[in-house]
Structure 1
Amino acid sequence: MLNSPNTPPLLVASGLAFSRNDEPVFGPLDLQVDAGEALLVQGDNGAGKTTLLRVLAGLLRPGSGQIQIDGRPAGRAERARFVAYLSHLPGLKPDLDTLENLNFLCGLHGRRARQMPGNALAIVGLAGYENTLVRQLSAGQKRRLALARIWLSPAPLWLLDEPYANLDLDGINLVNRMISAHLRGGGAALVTTHGAYAAPPVRTRLLQLGVAGQLAGDDTAGQSPAPRGNA
């Protein structure tokens, strides 16, 4: 799904940079994510992939640069409406069961029309675990539950930090199917990933962060580009 000339990109960042203790982590860099496409972010350890997503999600303040969401400056209201963030941490309550976690999170963030928590559990392969406490789940099952939360979110822009982590081959294929379906519905995704994992088979831009956090390239392809370098 391509944007019409009058439709702004879901996400635009210009001159974005972040430093920690006066040491540059990434940037300055420019990026854009349109409806119907994914931006794949790769780079060495320490290149700033996770930090970039935290800045875009509003959890860290950038050192410089501007962020727009759906054509407007990115504030709390824009992020609450348009952004769903999957951290490397699951963001789940360990002493609630899987269904209680999803119901709680839907109460906080809303829920996609015609999508129910029980259906989301089935989609991610956790049917039958509705009454299982999160602390009893494996790392891979917790990742699947976090993916169910993302699937239920009404937000069109997904920020996914290493979504393939702790997943087997079936789980990796699940992530790819979810991203593909989200993009077909007019959503977009920004995905950080290690080079060892296949990129989602969708319209993809590639953002390569250098060792010092500098932008090394931005490619657009009809199919996923081959990973460049290690992360």
Structure 2
Amino acid sequence: MSPLPPRGTRQPMTASPTHAPPLLAARGLSFARNEQPVFGPLHFAVDAGEALLVRGDNGAGKTTLLRVLAGLLGAETGAIDIDGKPAHSRERGHAIAYLGHLPALKADLSVLQNLEFLCGLHGHRPRQTIADALGIVGLAGFEDAPVRQLSAGQKKRLSLARLWLSPAPLWLLDEPYANLDLEGIHLVNRMISAHLQEGGAALVTTHGAYAAPPVRTRELVLGGGGA
């Protein structure tokens, strides 16, 4: 498979790691549900050009961690910084693209209408078109298909197209390999590799040993007791 084309809006971050802050940093981060600990306290950082692979069994708290980082849940304790600044809602809105278990698509809208709506809401990377993104994920020709008619794998590919269009430097990917065949798994890995080469970063949750992007990767292992 040929390399993904560059998206060309963000310059690679070339500053020395000793001087540039991590793209994402968490200090003493914990979360509890009904007074029962889910994870933490956790201390970790992800630099530009790097992926953090979050491993753990089902129920270890991987999804909850990504939701806390995205601002969808509030942390029990700790602090989150993005590019050296406290991660308030504005910073999260500009910096984070979140790919969750649910596709977050409008079932009665077409493939094209969904991407147009999401790009209008969140913005998109200049010089990267919707047609390009659909071609990359293998959905060229499905522009007018209602999302409710797509298979689970096709919906995941449509979510990946939106991710590819996003200008956000930090990707939070919750089980991105789910519902994908081997070709789709390779596609995700190529997307992550291209994103990191441009100076982005990614957090990737997985409980499968096979699923790890071939990039510079740190690993965070969560224990049981969460969701």
Letter in 1 for 2:33: R
Task: Describe how 1:80-91 pairs up with structure 2 within 5 A.
Answer: 80-91=93-104
How far apart are residue 47 of structure 1 and its match? 0.7
Partner of 2:41: 28
CA displacement 1:172-195 (0-9 Å, x = unmatched): 000000000000000000000122
How many residues are aligned here? 214
- Alpha-carbon distance in 1 for matches of 2:22, 2:212: 22
- For the structure 1 residues 32 and 39, does the alpha-carbon distance in structure 2 shift closer, same or farther, using more than 3 Å as the test? same
Where 1:68 maps in the other structure, the secondary structure is: strand
- Alpha-carbon distance in 2 for matches of 1:104, 1:157: 21
How far apart are residue 31 of structure 1 and its match? 1.0
- Alpha-carbon distance in 2 for matches of 1:3, 1:52: 28
Unaligned runs of 5+ in 1: 214-230
CA displacement 1:128-179 (0-9 Å, x = unmatched): 1011110000000000000111110000000000000000000000000000
8 Å Cα contact 1:125-1:144 kept in structure 2: yes
Unaligned runs of 5+ in 2: 1-12
**Residue 63 of structure 1 pairs with residue 76 of structure 2:** yes
8 Å Cα contact 2:58-2:207 kept in structure 1: no
Partner of 1:79: 92
Partner of 1:114: 127
- Alpha-carbon distance in 1 for matches of 2:145, 2:21: 42
**Residue 151 of structure 1 pairs with residue 151 of structure 2:** no
How far apart are residue 3 of structure 1 and its match? 4.9
Partner of 2:218: 205
RMSD, matched Cα: 1.3
How far apart are residue 196 of structure 1 and its match? 4.0
Residue 11 (structure 1) aligned to one of 24, 34, 48:
24
TM-score normalised by length of structure 1? 0.90
Letter in 1 for 2:52: L
Letter in 2 for 1:132: A
Which stretches of structure 1, 4 residues or more, deviate above 3 A after TM superposition? none
8 Å Cα contact 2:26-2:43 kept in structure 1: yes
Partner of 1:39: 52
CA displacement 1:66-97 (0-9 Å, x = unmatched): 00011110011100110000010000000111
Partner of 2:113: 100
Residue 194 (structure 1) aligned to one of 203, 207, 225:
207
Letter in 1 for 2:46: V
How far apart are residue 198 of structure 1 and its match? 2.5
Where 2:109 maps in the other structure, the secondary structure is: coil
- Alpha-carbon distance in 2 for matches of 1:170, 1:135: 23
Partner of 2:62: 49
Where 2:53 maps in the other structure, the secondary structure is: strand
Percent identical among aligned pairs is 73
- Alpha-carbon distance in 1 for matches of 2:132, 2:14: 29
Where 1:129 maps in the other structure, the secondary structure is: coil
Specify which structure has the bigger relative contact order, considering alpha-carbon pairs within 8 angstroms and separated by 6 or more residues: 2
Partner of 1:226: none
